[in-house]
Structure 1
């Protein structure tokens, strides 16, 4: 659960999974965050386009991994969801920063993130759950990009955990 409080209008206190973030917020900085949201939205693909002519297979439904809230939590994507946590741990350990740093960066723009998804109720995810989803998804997207450019260590790591046969589905789902 996220607790928000303000001290003299200068700091925003956020708490997620026993991590406290003190993010200095200035008036100029707050206005800068609006540059990340220019009114664009992430829409679901219309049913007419998603399904084949017999309405049997949803071409746009992820087969291995979800990105964002539209398909998040589907049981058939659970294996990749668990793997995202391992990828996050790798990402954080190689960054020289802690998880708190990344969560704080996401919390700065959490409302803009929430506003991007059309058809997802604002209360579907609390700030902590949405921030965690975004961090896991972002780390996994970076991980896949490293695989795409031939990072052998990441390719071997992926194959050890999910198998070579499903690597193409991870890329299809991301695209």
Structure 2
């Protein structure tokens, strides 16, 4: 058990808009999270113009963002990830198993405030828990509402694809 999250198998969550490797990582993380009552959606737009690869909420109402990386160049070249920290209580890097994790130990990647999850298309494991860095109550309320509305919009689109076409943004 790591930070209240247990690593075993089962459930589903991947994005059709992610590259194949990233979709597999998202699926494995989705399974890990689902087993631990953390529900997330992929490709969640944030109010600062960024888009979180996975954004979810745990049973205590904490917001979790996961930034997925499957290539070293993408990991090393990503300068936008600190922009996500203002929108979550916990931030994780979600990595493919083959990816070298050593850069995440450097100060540029703030290891004191970022967790690390390694995942494939079947499962995931938390290698470093993300510390809780609580959002203020007003920000959390706003983000939980945005996350809930986005999830409901997506669900409505699954039930009735014509309904999805009525809304043009998130």
TM-score normalised by the chain length of structure 1: 0.28
Greater percentage in strand: 2
Higher relative contact order, structure no. (Cα contacts within 8 Å, ≥ 6 residues apart)? 1
Bigger helix share: 1
